[in-house]
Amino acid sequence: MKELETGEVIITQDDLLKRIAELGNSISEDYRGKDPVLICVLKGAAVFMADLIRVVSIPIVIDFLSISSYAGRGESGAVRIIKDLDINIANKDVLMVEDIIDTGFTLGYLLRILKARNPSSLKVAVLLDRPALRIVDLPVAYKGFEIPDEFVVGYGLDYKENFRHLPYICKLKTV
């Protein structure tokens, strides 16, 4: 059995923090005078969410949603909610914070679920967009980085629960 280790860094910690500050400024401007609810999709978006809420300069409410959808590298198509929201989002301005968009199946499913709960508005902030794999076209209001079709880890993204702790985004390599 081959071992995996980190490979080439494709997004540095400095670049991540700089882009997240820009996203935070945009979110602060767009939601000024509102009371937005930022929903973190666990576990992958936790690091992104933590850094993002530190640079948002307006009052916010946060909540968490945990799902299961990945089977290996691809999405299985079977999405299960493991941890649902604690707050009622009806008539709220909601921003869903996600780590990565691949095919769009999982995000599309989550958007349908949340839209059925009647928020005033529902937008998406995503750290990484991998458009080469996109099957479902989805609107993304705030996008950190576009990446090629390569498996990446770090900054909350994992491979079998490993590598989430890395402060940057990198490729995996087999050794």
> What is the spatial distance between Cα 139 and Cα 136, in angstroms, rounded to a whole number?
10
Catalytic-role residue among 51, 93, 99, 102: 102
φ, ψ of residue 32 in degrees (nearest 5):
-60, 135
Amino acid at 10: I
Q: Is the dihedral of CA 20, 44, 145, 154 positive or negative?
A: positive
- Six-digit token string for 53: 């809420």
Q: What is the DSSP string of 84-102?
A: --SS--TTSEEEEEEEEES
102 is catalytic: yes
Catalytic residues: 102
